[in-house]
């Protein structure tokens, strides 16, 4: 089997893969902090056990399922911060 490399292994940059892996790791950590097993989170969120297991291993999950998990872990409001920062195309647009 051929090993696939992620560019972030060589260059300090975010890639889709690193974002997925980091998100899954944070979700898994939050699940454990909440004292939930994958099975218990499945029951609380309505997301299948297999989907939660796959998400924690690969970072792959549907947005709807991710929102359900976020709600079950009491962090649904975190999603409201996505895409809030304005796009800066000029130094004039920058507001610290």
Tens of pLDDT, residues 2-17: 666 666 567 667 889 8
CATH number at residue 74: 1.10.260.40
Count structural domains, the chain. 1
The torsion angles phi and psi of 43, rounded to 5 degrees, stand at: -65, -45
pTM of the shown model = 0.77
The pLDDT, as a whole number, for residue 80 is: 92
- List the single range of 25-29, 47-51, 69-73, 83-87 with lowest mean pLDDT: 83-87
Mean pLDDT of the chain: 89
Residue 36 lies in a domain: yes
**Tokens at residue 15, please?**
């890639």
Give me the sign of the Cα torsion angle 48, 49, 52, 58: negative
CA atoms within 13 A on the CB side of 6: 12
Residue 51 lies in a domain: yes
Residue-range definition of the domain harbouring residue 60: 7-80
Residue 63 lies in a domain: yes
Residue 95 lies in a domain: no
């Amino acid at each position: 089997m051929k090993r696939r490399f992620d560019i972030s292994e060589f260059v300090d940059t975010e890639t889709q893969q690193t974002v997925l892996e980091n998100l899954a790791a944070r979700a898994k950590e939050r699940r454990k902090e909440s004292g939930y097993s994958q099975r218990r989170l499945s029951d609380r969120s309505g997301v299948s056990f297999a989907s939660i297991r796959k998400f924690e291993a690969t970072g792959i999950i549907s947005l709807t399922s991710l929102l359900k998990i976020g709600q079950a872990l009491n962090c649904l409001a975190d999603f409201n911060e996505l895409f809030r920062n304005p796009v800066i195309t000029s130094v004039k647009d920058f507001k610290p």
